[in-house]
Amino acid sequence: MKENIIFFQDADKSYIKAIGGKGANLCELTKGNFPVPNGFCITTDAYFKISQKAGISGLIDQLPETINKSEDNIKTISASIRNKLKEVEIPEVIFDQLILSYQQLGAISVAVRSSSTAEDLKEASFAGQQDTFLNIKDQKHY
């Protein structure tokens, strides 16, 4: 296990805060010898480091205030958050760990799925509300 990356075979459901429900379930399935492709999760700690560098906390704090006011406000703030995350340079240590982890998979085509830690919980499921990128073949896509 690296600081910002957790491979499926290295974790279980106790890692839910670090990798979310979807990630923890994939780890459990891997440990149960179900046919899960090799993979890894980028931790919430890595996300927080990147989001802090992007300076989005103030924008995120505005969302609860706008939820009942206007759909346009929510869309505008959400677009600002997405743009800041797209523009931020990923810290070198996280980027290097990500590339090394990808290479350890054999540099094969992979699916990359953004996810929320609140997905796949006993009380709620928000599957399909995040982005998925298929057939990623090299680090140029990062």
Domain-wise residue ranges, the chain: 5-141
Question: Is the confidence at residue 44, as pLDDT, over 80?
Answer: yes
pTM over 0.75? The answer is yes
pLDDT at 111: 86
Domain 5-141: CATH superfamily, name plus number: ATP-grasp fold, A domain (3.30.1490.20)
**Residues 110/136, Cβ–Cβ less than 8 Å:** yes
